[in-house]
Amino acid sequence: MDKASPEHVQPSKPITTKIKNMVPWNERFSYGLSDFACNLSFQMVGTYLMIFYTDTFGISAAAVGTLFFVARFFDAIDGPFWGIMIDHTHTKWGKSRPYWLWFSIPFAVFCVLVFTTPNLSLTGKLIWAYVTYIGVDVLYSAVNIPITSILPSLTNNPQERVTLSTIRQFMGTLGAAVITGITLTMVSHFGGGSTTSKRGWFIWALIVAIIVLVLFAIVFFNTHERVQTKSSRQSLPIKESLKALRKNWPWAIIIFINFVYWLGMQTRSQVTVYFFKYNMHNAGLASFVLSLQLVSLVAVVLTPLFSRLIGKRNTMLGGMLIACAGQVLLNIGADHLSTGTIIFATVIGYLGTGFVSGLIAVMLADAVDYGEWVNGVRAEGIVTSFSSFSAKLGMGIGGVITGWILSASGYIANKSQTGAALHGIELNYIWVPLIGFGLSAIALMFYHVDGIEKTMQADLAEKHAAENAEDQI
């Protein structure tokens, strides 16, 4: 059946199928812990690795930017690779859950190695940085993609998916706020009072890795893949999996948004320490500003309510526009070196992004359903794997932009910066994120799944019931 223009679809029969599959609270909480664990580790990498490389390990900003650029080539294959592997996986634990069991230990190990500083030549340092950063990047996909790919299997109830994703985003934001807020303090504590201490970075990375390992064990044991379809009970060939992407325009829009949104978020977060250290001459304020991510939890909690009232698309669109307003206010604060204005702008920005991040996973789960509805193929792995790919590509390109702008503007680590270097820091902190949020808002204008969701879910529920009855014969 061809549903290439679904916004014009009218229900051919009354919607009478009752959608159940509510998830118990202990499982909701455990699912949320998955993103708490991921953000503890990877937000530490995303926010602090660049300044760790330049100001502690002794690698130039340009070399770091090139490293982030090269790593993106691996992202071009590792995200889809893990997605295909998930679609090929068929175990007693399900398709997505086993990856937390199999890869959480290697991921934790590389989270420590990436902040380890062996005594090497400059060439040796670069080789070490390439191996450990690419390693942690690839293994992150192995544990992060299942967080999104399992969502359509936890429940087929659209509002329950919003609830689960809201809890996930709440916990993920909490993890990000905790790790970005206390990292410099803990590094200084373990490093004898210095935020550039090699020993401090290593010990703190080790502690975080152990916590992450324990959390993933809890997630594995407490989640269940309860939505069973014909395709979920068998391995899908690659060619068959890729059919789920054909005419899947909701998937294409969300993947693009995921890319430009995280590009903007990454440039802002990783240059925050630079901005307050050099532009504002108050490095200690960076931890406080990063911890303001907790403000976004207000928006996260309100996301299910707004999604019911105005739809998922409009809720995310409003969040993007609020985030844009925050960046504009941030520019005013930076021009006047006004700490109060910068803090206020940051609060506004985080309120906006609080409406965004959690809904990306929900809309990708909808794209899994849409791919099955249009093409007859349900491929959770390949559809959702591009979420990790596009996010990491955006974060990586954000890292490239940051490194190259800092280098081109004349940044020199641990020195007083020139006017050009200070301007380069501002470009990364204010304008690149603003462009990313703005492009995301424009793309959302073309997203129309909310209007056809009831018809789509009813058709799929009927299809799954028929398949399950057929398999029991």
> 94: phi > 0 → left, psi -120 to 50 → alpha, else beta; which?
left
Check residue 91 and report its DSSP letter. B
pLDDT at 11: 39
Chain-centroid distance, C-alpha 442: 20
Judged by DSSP in three states, 360 sits in helix
Q: Give yes or no for a contact between 66 and 401, defined as CB atoms under 8 angstroms apart.
A: no
Q: What is the dihedral of CA 133, 137, 139, 142, to 10 degrees?
A: 180
Which distant-in-sequence residues (6+ apart) come within 8 Å of 227 by Cβ? 21, 152, 153, 154, 155, 156, 464
| pLDDT number for residue 236 | 64
How far is residue 238's CA from residue 50's CA, in Å, rounded to a whole number?
Answer: 36
Q: What dotted CATH number matches 24-221+240-457? A: 1.20.1250.20
Sequence-distant (6+) residues with CB within 8 A of 311 are 450
Per-residue pLDDT at 155: 86
Residue type, 448: H
Q: Residue 281 has what DSSP assignment? A: S
pTM for this one? 0.72
Check: CB of residue 352 under 8 Å from CB of residue 326: yes
Distance CA 315, CA 374 (A): 25
pLDDT the model gives residue 162: 85
pLDDT attached to residue 232? 55
Q: Residue 99: its pLDDT value, please?
A: 95
Closest CA to 404 of 67, 56, 46, 61: 61
Which pLDDT belongs to residue 1? Answer: 42
**Which pLDDT score is estimated for 89?**
85
- In this prediction, residue 90 carries a pLDDT of 82
CB 151 within 8 A of CB 86: no
Helix 380-408, helix 25-52: angle, nearest 10: 30
pLDDT at 15: 37
94: three-class secondary structure by DSSP: strand
| Chain center to CA of 53 | 22
Extract the residue ranges of the chain whose pLDDT is less than 70: 1-21, 76, 228-237, 468, 470-473
Give the residue among 101, 130, 370, 415 at the shortest CA–CA distance from 278: 415
For residue 446, give every residue at least 6 positions away whose Cβ sits within 8 Å of its Cβ, in sequence order, or none: 249, 253
